[in-house]
Amino acid sequence: MSRTSTERPVRDELRDTVREFLARRAPMGEIRRRIATEQPYDPDVWALMSDQLGLTGLAIPDEYGGAGASWQELAVVVEELGRALLPSPYLAGVVLAGTAISCSDDEVCKKELLPRIAAGQLTAALAVLEDDGRWNAPIGLRAVPNGDGYLLDGHKSFVLDGHLADVLIVAARTARGASLFVVDGAGPGLIRTPLTTLDRTRPQARLEFAGVPARIISTEGGAGPVLARTFDLASIAAAADALGGAQRCLEMSIGYANERIAFGRPIGAFQAIKHKLADLLLEVEFARAAVERAALAAAQDTDEVPLLAGLAAAHCSQTYALVATENIHIHGGVGFTWEHDAQLYFKRAKSSQVLFGDAAVHRERVAAHLLDEPADAAG
């Protein structure tokens, strides 16, 4: 496909730029220092990402103040952020909330929020999960009409950036079914409690709503398709993030295998290590191919998006956990220490493995495509 092949060098340049920026501005030592505090995000890095590199507006359509790039470019950015393990409002705000808003048909909302998200001036979070932590579970949070708006009662959990974001995009249940709402993060009646997390690079919060004012996006009961589409695209982003981290872990393992001496030679000379790394390379190469294909489908908006998003998310979440685990193992005892970076990637991998639905959930989408007759799909 000539479009893809001529744009590949442009994406390679984007990748190099982002990687170089992160290596310079967000070294691991700085990340470790920040995640030990209440404020894991570096505001200077964030400002540079939006103002200088234009990353926040990259994939937002140009009519809403963005650069109008595709999911292929966005996937590259998310992958590099995952590789660097940078704590940042990017995933929750630009990718998750931004995608949900973009997928709706509410032009007023899009014109109001997307340009500010694109400019890096507004941070956002998407609140969908509740206590059982499943994306397609029935929604408990209730929304009742109140004048021109609505009031929300109930709670949300596991909300990425839930306590830090300026604005929240919230899934709640109305008389006509699941709907999406815009909520001011500092609004009345809203209690935002940070959760202690395994992965300190990804803050999460529990949100308690007691009569919280909210503005509906689009119409009552219209959130189903928007959330389904958002879940597909979020899955691709999760896969890209996992790919970046897995690739980095693999490189750490190869580096160590070449330099650690045991029994008179580098440990990489032994077949146990060699063969393990060959197996891991195959999984990472598969992951790369899967993310590329899923991102291409998203960029072209084909009907393979749910299938390829499920395929990529299942494989990448599993692969990241595997490579991060084996990375510790190949490093031996030092890989098990707090001070070594391997454990930070391991915690990100384990966290991601469950946060966006585990591999079995994603694989079920592939299974449905293969095994369900159209008549079955209604059941």
Partner 1 sequence: MSESGSPSVAAFLERAVEWLAANAERRPRGSQVRWGEGADRVALFRDTTAEDERAQVQAARSWQRTKFDAGYGAISWPVEYGGAGLTSGHEVAFRHLESEFVTPLIVEAVSISVSLEASTILALGTEEQKDRWLRPLRRGDELCCQLFSEPGAGSDLGSISLRASRAGDDWVLDGQKVWTSGAQFADVGYVVARTDAAAPRGRAFTAFLVPMDAPGIDVRPLRQMTGGTSFNEVFFDGVRVPDSARLGEIGGGWAAMMTTLAFERAGAAEGLGFSGTELVDRLVLTARKLGRSRDPMVRQRIAELYSRNRMRNWLADRAQARVDAGGLPGPEGSLSKLAYTRELQDAGDRAGSLLGPAMVADTGAWGTFAWSAFVCGVPGLRLGGGTDEIQKNTIAERILGLPKESR
- Point out which residues bind partner 1 (CB under 8 A): 5, 254, 257-258, 265-266, 268-269, 271, 273-275, 277-279, 281-282, 285-286, 289-290, 292-293, 311, 314-315, 360, 363-364, 366-367, 370-372
Q: Are 342 and 320 in contact (CB under 8 A)?
A: no
Q: Using the Cα atoms of residue 260, residue 352, residue 183 and residue 93 in order, give the sign of their dihedral.
A: positive
CA–CA dist 154, 29 (Å, integer) = 39
Ramachandran assignment for 221, one of left (phi > 0), alpha (psi -120 to 50 degrees), beta (any other) = left
Nearer to partner 1, 174 or 319 (CB): 319
Cα 345 to its chain centre, rounded Å, is 15
Closest approach, Cβ 317 to partner 1, in A, equals 12
Nearer to partner 1, 156 or 315 (CB): 315
Nearer to partner 1, 173 or 365 (CB): 365
Closest approach, Cβ 334 to partner 1, in A, equals 19
Q: Read off the tokens for 31.
A: 């990340």
Closest approach, Cβ 58 to partner 1, in A, equals 24
HSE-CB for 202 with a 13 A CA cutoff: 23
Q: Which of 277, 155, 150 has its CA nearest to residue 216?
A: 150
Q: Over the range 150-185, which residues count as b (16 or more CB within 10 Å of their CB) and which as e? A: bbbbbbbbbbbbbbbbbbbbbbbbbeeebbbbbbeb
Q: How far is the CA of 262 from the CAs of 34, 258, 269, 336, 340, in angstroms?
A: 36, 11, 10, 18, 20
Nearer to partner 1, 166 or 326 (CB): 326
Closest approach, Cβ 29 to partner 1, in A, equals 27
Ramachandran assignment for 225, one of left (phi > 0), alpha (psi -120 to 50 degrees), beta (any other) = alpha
Nearer to partner 1, 277 or 324 (CB): 277
Closest approach, Cβ 369 to partner 1, in A, equals 8
Nearer to partner 1, 189 or 266 (CB): 266
Closest approach, Cβ 348 to partner 1, in A, equals 23
Nearer to partner 1, 35 or 76 (CB): 76
- Residue 87 is classified by DSSP as -
Closest approach, Cβ 7 to partner 1, in A, equals 14
Q: How far is the CA of 189 from the CAs of 47, 135, 139, 210, 234, in angstroms?
A: 31, 25, 19, 5, 29
